[in-house]
C-alpha cells in the first residue's frame, strides 16, 4: 500500500464477512475503488457448518418460540417448517427424543468449510479489482472536515467515503476510535470433537444438526465421521478480555474448564448414546457474545 491512498470503500477485516463484502462490491462494479485490510492472514477470525437442522422444543412455551421463529423465517423466505417426533427420528435415528414435543426443521442449512468459502470470495474480489492487504492492521479511524473517513493502517493511510467494519470481536475497541460505544463482551465457549463414530461410518450424507437449547445448551452434530458438541453455557458463562481484545489473537484455544460445562456435556452424551464410546477432545474457543438464535431458558 502506498503511504496514502484514496478509495471509495475500505473494509477492515478479512474473514468471511469482509471477503464476502469485498466480493459483492467487486460484482457491483466498485472493485477498483475498494480496499480491504486484514491484520493477519485472510480467514484469521472465528468463522466455521449440516445437512438440515432441528431446533428442539420440550415445553409449550418453547413451541410458541418455535412458532414465532417459523413466522419470522418464512417472512424472510427461509425454507422452514414445524415437525413432529416421527419426522425427527427418521432423519436422525441416534438422538434420544424423550421429552421432546416438536422441532423447527430447516432443511437447507448447509455444510461449508468456511475458510474455503472465504478464500473463494477473496479470489472473486481480487478478480474484480479489489486490493487486499494482509498483515495490515487498522490502527485508527477518524473523520476529516469533508466528512471522509481517514483510516490509518500499519501500511499507510486510506481516505475514503465508506468504512465497512468486518473485524469481528474487535468491534468495541475499534468503534471507540470514533467515540462510539458498543455494548459487547467476548465469551469463551467450549466445543468437543470426538474420534470417528462407528455408526457414522456407512452413512452417505451427514445427519441433521440438533440444536438442543434445553439439555445440551448448544448443538450436537456430525462432522465428517466424527461427532461435535458445541456448548454455549446458559449458566456459569465466562467472559474474557474485559478491557480490550489482544491484537495478536488469531484463533487461539483457551484452557478447558470441564466443571463449567459438565452438566451440558453429560446431557449431550445421554441424548446421543453412541458418542460416549469415544474420547472427547477439548477445544474451547472464543466468540463474540450473541445468543439471539437460542431459545429462552
Give contact residues for ligand FAD (rule: CB under 6 A): 12-18, 37-40, 44-49, 137-138, 166-170, 174, 191, 285, 287
Q: What is the dihedral of CA 289, 290, 296, 297, to 10 degrees?
A: -20
Rounded to whole angstroms, the Cα distance separating 158 from 1 reads 9
Contact 11, 40 (CB under 8 A): no
Give the nearest distance from C-beta 19 to ligand FAD in angstroms: 8
Q: Closer CB to ligand FAD, residue 102 or residue 230?
A: 230
Q: Closer CB to ligand FAD, residue 228 or residue 271?
A: 228
Task: Give the 3-state secondary structure of 83-109.
Answer: ECHHHHHHHCCCCCCCCCCEEEEECCC
Angle at 71 between CA 168 and CA 208, to 5 degrees: 65
Give the nearest distance from C-beta 98 to ligand FAD in angstroms: 26
Q: Which residue matches cell numbers 472427547?
A: 280
Give the nearest distance from C-beta 60 to ligand FAD in angstroms: 28
Q: Closer CB to ligand FAD, residue 48 or residue 237?
A: 48
DSSP string over 248-263? T-SS--PPP-HHHHHH
Give the nearest distance from C-beta 86 to ligand FAD in angstroms: 27
Give the nearest distance from C-beta 85 to ligand FAD in angstroms: 25
Q: Cell triple for residue 139? A: 490502527
Q: Is 138 helix (H, G, I), strand (E, B) or coil?
A: strand
Contact 221, 207 (CB under 8 A): yes
The DSSP H or E segment spanning 173 is helix 171-175
Q: Closer CB to ligand FAD, residue 128 or residue 228?
A: 228
Q: Which residue matches cell numbers 456448548?
A: 231
Q: Closer CB to ligand FAD, residue 31 or residue 50?
A: 50
Q: Closer CB to ligand FAD, residue 43 or residue 267?
A: 43
Q: Closer CB to ligand FAD, residue 200 or residue 232?
A: 232
The DSSP secondary-structure symbol of 133 reads E
Give the nearest distance from C-beta 59 to ligand FAD in angstroms: 26
Closest CA to 258 of 229, 296, 291, 284: 284
Q: Closer CB to ligand FAD, residue 4 or residue 84?
A: 4
Q: Cell triple for residue 13? A: 477485516
Give the nearest distance from C-beta 44 to ligand FAD in angstroms: 4
Contact 209, 191 (CB under 8 A): no
Give the nearest distance from C-beta 105 to ligand FAD in angstroms: 17
Contact 222, 275 (CB under 8 A): no
Amino acid at each position: 500500500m502506498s503511504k496514502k491512498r484514496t478509495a471509495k470503500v475500505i473494509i477492515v477485516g478479512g474473514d468471511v464477512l469482509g471477503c464476502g463484502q469485498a466480493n459483492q462490491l467487486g460484482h457491483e462494479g466498485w472493485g477498483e475503488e475498494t480496499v480491504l485490510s486484514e491484520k493477519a492472514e485472510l480467514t484469521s477470525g472465528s468463522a466455521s457448518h449440516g445437512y438440515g437442522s432441528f431446533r428442539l422444543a420440550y415445553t409449550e412455551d418453547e413451541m410458541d418460540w418455535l412458532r414465532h421463529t417459523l413466522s419470522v423465517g418464512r417472512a424472510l423466505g427461509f425454507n422452514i417448517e414445524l415437525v413432529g417426533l416421527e419426522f425427527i427420528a427418521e432423519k436422525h435415528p441416534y438422538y434420544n427424543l424423550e421429552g421432546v414435543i416438536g422441532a423447527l426443521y430447516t432443511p437447507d442449512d448447509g455444510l461449508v468449510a468456511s475458510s474455503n468459502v472465504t478464500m473463494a470470495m477473496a479470489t472473486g474480489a481480487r478478480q474484480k479489482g479489489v486490493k487486499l492487504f494482509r498483515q495490515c492492521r487498522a490502527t485508527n479511524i477518524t473523520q476529516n472536515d469533508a466528512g471522509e473517513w481517514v483510516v490509518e493502517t500499519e501500511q499507510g493511510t486510506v481516505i475514503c467515503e465508506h468504512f465497512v467494519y468486518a473485524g469481528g470481536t474487535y468491534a468495541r475497541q475499534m468503534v471507540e476510535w470514533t467515540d462510539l460505544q458498543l455494548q459487547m463482551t467476548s465469551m469463551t465457549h467450549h466445543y468437543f470433537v470426538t474420534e470417528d463414530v462407528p455408526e457414522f461410518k456407512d452413512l452417505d450424507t451427514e445427519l441433521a444438526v440438533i440444536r438442543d437449547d434445553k439439555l445440551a445448551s448448544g448443538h450436537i452434530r456430525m462432522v465428517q465421521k466424527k461427532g461435535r458438541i458445541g456448548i454455549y453455557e446458559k449458566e456459569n458463562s465466562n467472559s474474557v478480555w474485559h478491557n480490550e481484545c489482544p491484537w495478536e489473537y488469531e484463533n487461539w484455544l483457551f484452557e478447558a474448564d470441564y466443571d463449567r460445562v459438565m452438566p451440558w456435556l453429560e446431557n449431550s452424551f445421554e441424548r446421543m448414546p453412541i458418542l460416549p464410546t469415544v474420547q472427547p477432545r477439548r477445544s474451547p474457543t472464543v466468540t463474540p457474545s450473541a445468543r439471539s438464535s437460542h431459545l429462552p431458558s
